[in-house]
Chain A
Amino acid sequence: MSKEEKGGLNGVVKTFRNLPGFWRASLNPWLIRVRNHPERLAFVLHRVTGAIILFYLLLHILVTDVPAYHHSWSSWQSLMASFNNPANHIGEFIVAGCVFYHGLNGIRLLLTEFFGVCIGKPERPKPPYIPPTAKSCQRKLLYAVFILAAIFWVLSGLIIFGVWG
């Protein structure tokens, strides 16, 4: 029995109503069923990559501030030298993948949710009912996002690991 159900039986106001769904949907992508639901995978990946990018952004702002904070470049140069190792390059590679996926999927979300592109028109739900969103080009757009993000991720890996450039 879940915490939520226990709360309900005891007559306590149900709190954390969204908690199981939140963890399941947002923070543990391995638990959700994505077969025939690529949009679900896209949604979860968008949140996970967003959280990773935010963590990197906060660190990036702090690291960029080092020469201004110390009024010298020597501390920043030694910090940059310490970052020049395979573990850090792998971290950069992960962040680059997150940025490309989050950015491209963000453009898709802007097009479909904000500008209403590629979502089809409403229609009467006659059986066998297939929602217009599933028939329109938004799913092709989604697959394009997955493919383009993978291509950009590989290219960024070539740059980060010094193979290209």
Chain B
Amino acid sequence: MGNASRLAIWQYITAIILIAVLTGHLIERFPPVTHQSYEQSLSPSTFYSRLKGAWGIGLLLLAYVALFHGLNGIRGMLYEWLPGRRREKVWDALFWILFIIFASIATYTVIALPAPTLPK
């Protein structure tokens, strides 16, 4: 990575993906669609079935793309705010460190999520 125009193109590409996946994620909490109240849509069983089903891959994609889009946006602002070749390397390093850490946490969540115990 490196120049500001390339960062902007990645912003557009990730934005196109986000429109589709984020809309799906928001609809998951929309009561007329889920037929559950806003609070009920966050029960452990609903949460588990969402993350462990096929849509879990979509949510993981959403996490990766949203992280990339958000951190890349901040990186673009830092490029403008504190320009310079050496600083840009620092912003690039920070971007990748934060992206890898949070993407790993999101991946771990989907893989290691335990099944909720059903009430007897």
Q: Which residue numbers of A lie inside 8 Å of B, CB to CB? A: 15-19, 22, 26, 47, 50-51, 53-54, 57-58, 61-62, 64-65, 67-69, 71-73, 76-77, 80, 84, 99, 103, 106-107, 109-110, 113-114, 159-160, 162, 164-165
Closest Cβ neighbor of B79 among chain A residues: A18
Report the separation of the CA atoms of residues A21 and B19 in the bound assembly, to the nearest whole angstrom. Answer: 30
7 inter-chain pairs at a CB distance below 8 angstroms, sorted by A residue, are: A22-B77, A50-B73, A65-B108, A67-B44, A73-B114, A162-B37, A162-B38
Residues of B within 8 A of A (CB): 12, 15-16, 18-19, 22, 26, 29-32, 37-39, 42, 44, 47, 63, 66-67, 70-71, 73-74, 77, 80-84, 102, 105-106, 108-109, 111-114, 116-117
Give A68 to B60 CA distance when docked, in angstroms: 15
- Residues on A with beta carbons closer than 8 Å to the beta carbon of B83: 17-18
Determine whether the beta carbon of B81 is less than 8 Å from that of A77.
no
Inter-subunit contact A165/B70 (CB<8 Å):
no
Chain A, Cβ-Cβ closest to B42: A80
Q: Which of A47, A61, A72 contacts B63 (CB 8 A)?
A: A61
